[in-house]
Every structure is written in C-alpha cells, then in structure tokens.
Amino acid sequence: MTEHVSSSEIKPKKPLSDQQLATLAQKIHDLAADFGFQQVGIVDPQLDETLKHHMAWLDNGFHGEMSYLEGNLDKRAKPYDMVPGSCRIISVRMNHLPPAFSALTLLKQPEKAYIARYTLGRDYHKTFRKRLTQFGQKISELAGGMGYRAFVDSAPVFERPIAEQAGLGWTGKHTLILNRSAGSWFFLGELFIDLPLPVDNVSTQQHCGSCTACLDVCPTQAFTKAYELDATRCISYLTIEKKGEIPVELRSLMGNRIFGCDDCQLVCPWNRFAKHTDETDFHPRHSLDDVSLLTLFSWDEATFLKRTEGSAIRRTGYEGWLRNIAVALGNSKGGQPVIDALVSKRPECSEMVQSHIDWAVEQLQKDLSEPIKLLQFNDNDTTSRNRDSHEHS
Ligand code: B12
Ligand code: SF4
Ligand code: SF4
C-alpha cells in the first residue's frame, strides 16, 4: 500500500487561549459533516500497549508478505515524530456503504463475482484525502494558521487504535472499528495538527458481548482468536496483498470473492444500523456489483486498465486479477463452458496464472461427477438475516 498524505506548514500568528482552543474544538465537530465526515474525535493517543500487540502479531508472522507493517515501529508508537510540531490527532470516519447492493444474493451465485463493497466505486484514498486536506485548510483559517498533515490508510499509523481512543467506536472481535449508530462500514483517516486542542472525553465501552458471529462465519477461519487475525488466511490479503500463488488449501474456501471480503462485517448485528453513503464516488461503477466471472475473465489487460481507472482494484494488477478469477471459476460449479473458457485463455497467461487455471479445471472436472452443493449460506438461519438486514432498512 502507498502512503497518502498532504500537508501545510502555516504557523499561527499568536498562540490561542484555552477558551479559543475549546471554541475551535467545538467548531471542528460542527463542521465535520460539511466535509463529508460522519464523525470526528480529537485525541492525544497513547500507543505503547498497541505497539506490544503489533510486535507480537508480527512475531507470529500473521502479516505475511506485508513487510511495510514491520517498519517505522518507533513512529507508530510515537506518531507525532512523523509530523514535527504536531501534538493532537483529529481522527475522522467516512461511510462507504453503497445503496442497493445485495451481498447475500451475490455470494449465493457462484458464477458471479463478489467484490468487496468498499471498492466498487472510486479509490477512496483520493476522495478522502482531498476532503481531509480541505478540512485542514478550513481549521487553519479558523485558527489564524495551523500546521497539519493528512493521512489516509497505510502510512505507519495505527489508525484503528487512534480512532478508538478518539471515540469513533470500539475494536470489534473482527479487529475493525465499529460503533453503535453506524456499524463498521466506514474508512478511517487522520489529521495531525500542531494546536493543543482539548481532547474529547470518550467512552471505551465494548459492545460485542458474547457474540462471535464474525469469528464463526469467516470462510477461511482466519481468526486465531477474538481480536487476532492471521492475515495470511484472510481473503482480503489473499486477493489484494499477496503476490504469486494462493495456497492450494485455501482456494476452495474463497468461493466467488475475487477482491476483498466482507463476510465478517456482513454478519455483524451492529451493521443493521449502518447508513448508506451519499458519496457518489463510492457507488458501484461498470456494474461491478453484478457481473459474471466469465465476463471479467474475458477482459484483456487494456480493458482491465480502462475499467479499473481510478479504482483501488488496480492494486492487484492484471495478473493478480486473472489469478483471483481463475480460483473463483474453479469454485463456480459452472461445468464444461467454464472449463472451455479457462482452457482457451490459458496460453496467454503467465505460469503463475496457468497453475491456478489448472487447479480450477481440475475442480470443475471433479464437480461434473458430483451433485451441486451450495451450502455457504442458509436463508433460514439468523446469521444470514443479520448479514443483509441493513439492506432492507
Ligand atoms: C494491513 C491492513 C489490512 C490487512 C490486515 C488486517 C488486520 N486486521 O490487521 C488485510 C489485508 C488482511 C486487511 C483487510 C481488511 N481491511 Co485493512 N488495513 C490494514 C492497514 C493498512 C494496517 C492495519 C494494521 O496495522 N494491522 C496490523 C496489526 C497491528 O493488526 P492487529 O494485530 O489486528 O491490531 C490490533 C491489535 O493490536 C489490537 N489491540 C491493540 N491493543 C490491544 C489490546 C488488547 C487487550 C487486545 C485484545 C487487542 C489490542 O488492536 C489493533 C487494531 O485493531 C489499515 C490502515 C492502517 N494504517 O491502520 C487498514 C484498515 C484496518 N483496513 C480496513 C478495511 C476496510 C479492511 C477490510 C474490511 C477490506 C475488505 N473489505 O476486504 C478487510 C477486513 C479484514 C479484517 N477483519 O481485518 C480499514 C478498517 C476501517 C474500520 N472500520 O475499522 C482500515 C483502517 C483502512 C482505513 N483507513 O479505513 N487490512
Ligand atoms: S475479511 Fe473475510 S476472510 Fe478476512 S477475516 Fe473477514 S471474513 Fe475472514
Ligand atoms: S459480529 Fe459480533 S463479535 Fe463480531 S464485531 Fe460484530 S458484534 Fe462484535
């Protein structure tokens, strides 16, 4: 992942009084909605404990090939060192749930592609970074000058623990931040600032209770325990971050998920309270919310690049894209027509993709002699009702 930052070094003409800082903090909360943020929190984070957890997580090798998570550990624990002069962080969240998108229906149609909701539209980094920068400019104007720097994802910033300490929600057992009025369908971003604003008083209460729905539903059993994810088993990692071969033992568990995965969020009861986003940038483009695997597999590289322009999907690259679709086609129970499509595309593919095609063909040939089983989700259980419940609210 790349670092997305923007900054300004304008200094205030004279220090603000405590009263002026308190008034400014209130205005920041009042103005957030004008910039497309559903919530903000001002925080002076304490991250020593988080660093210990992070290091233990790395020691277990749960980060796989994401070597960037090993770097800048000092800065992760002392984030102000990244932006000299900064002394507070404004943590913000932005909803991304697109309207009228039935995840359950798609997951039950093995011939269709499932692409994670967060990436059906434009790359969120761009929209979010632009808004954060405008927000920083506005605050700077109100303060009579302020140094600030905006981060959106993947800088060495502990975004989730910072958001939790800023009061944006609690860390769920699936490791994501969620809150009682919005669920978890939102992105996080941060504005590092050099004004000593009063921090928000926040509740640190957790509301997962005895629920384990996210842990139980994970198709690849990627959670080693509550609050601990072995990313190397997570479909999001396998389809987006991992280069090269996808481990054979995980392929049949991936179903039709070709870019990211939403299952642990779909099943979460708190997502019944999630709100759809008004940001048209996050609405699906090129019918990616309802498209067959064979259609996507037929794209040549030029078509892939054109249709994924401005989208985070480009991150996987054309080779990774074909690899992911080949695995999904192997799980599609699509029989001879799918075998034919795989075999006909094979000569133009890299060796790595070819090995996934061969695996897929083998699966489909096995299926031809077996009755079709589609037991991934059952309409009658409460899990599947929770899973899509917010779509009907
Ligand atoms: C690497 C990464 C991934 C990896 C690893 C995910 C992971 N859980 O760590 C992969 C590729 C698998 C991934 C997947 C996804 N990701 Co991601 N990812 C990141 C990234 C870049 C870094 C996260 C990180 O540092 N992980 C490493 C370690 C430290 O994680 P960890 O051990 O779980 O950390 C937790 C513990 O230390 C724990 N902890 C801390 N102190 C303590 C104390 C105690 C007592 C306990 C028990 C625990 C505990 O809290 C930490 C945070 O939750 C962040 C952006 C950022 N800069 O933060 C986005 C981010 C976390 N991802 C995000 C999203 C949306 C996703 C996906 C939903 C995308 C998708 N639909 O496919 C999935 C969700 C999978 C999941 N269940 O986590 C969002 C989450 C928004 C939210 N509401 O929380 C983020 C914040 C990006 C953003 N700016 O919005 N992601
Ligand atoms: S995103 Fe999917 S694969 Fe990853 S932890 Fe959640 S349910 Fe499991
Ligand atoms: S599914 Fe249950 S355990 Fe998981 S985050 Fe949601 S409330 Fe917490």
Q: Does residue 235 sit in the same domain as residue 303?
A: yes
Same domain, 231 and 363: yes
Identify whether residues 178 and 231 lie together within a single domain: no
Residue identifier of the C-alpha nearest atom 6 of ligand 2:
264
Catalytic choice (30, 34, 48, 153): 153
Identify whether 203 is part of a domain.
Answer: no
261, 265, 324, 387: which to mutate for ligand 2, most atoms within 8 A of CB? 261
Kindly give the distance from the C-alpha atom of residue 184 to the centroid of ligand 3, in angstroms, as a whole number.
10
Alpha-carbon torsion angle 38, 40, 45, 51, nearest 10: 20
Task: Please tell me whether 87 is known to bind a ligand.
Answer: no
Ligand 3 atom closest to 226 (CA): 3
Q: Is residue 371 part of a domain?
A: yes
Predicted confidence pLDDT, tens digits, the chain (393 residues):
333 344 555 455 578 999 999 999 999 999 999 999 999 999 999 999 999 999 999 999 999 999 999 999 999 999 999 999 999 999 999 999 988 668 989 999 999 999 999 999 888 888 899 999 999 999 999 999 999 999 998 689 999 999 999 999 999 999 999 999 999 999 999 999 999 999 998 887 899 999 999 999 999 999 999 999 999 999 999 999 999 999 999 999 999 999 999 999 999 999 998 888 888 888 888 888 899 999 999 999 999 999 999 999 998 999 999 999 999 999 999 999 999 999 999 999 999 999 999 999 999 999 998 765 554 544 433 333 333 333 222
CATH of the domain at 94: 3.40.109
Closest CA to 219 of 331, 125, 117: 331
Number of domains making up the chain: 2
Cα of 329 from ligand 1 centre, angstroms: 29
Q: CA dist 80 to 86, 164, 195, 199, Å?
A: 5, 18, 12, 15
Domain membership of residue 33 (yes or no) is yes
Domain containing residue 155: 5-108+118-193
How far apart are the C-alpha atoms of 322 and 290, rounded to whole Å?
A: 18
Same domain, 135 and 252: no
Residue 153 among the catalytic residues: yes
* β-strands 88-95, 114-115 pairing: unpaired
Residue 175 CA to ligand 1 centre (angstroms): 6
Choose the final residue of a domain: 193, 224, 259: 193
Residue pair 147/82 in contact by the 8 Å Cβ criterion: no
Q: Is residue 98 domain-shared with residue 241, that is, in the same domain? A: no
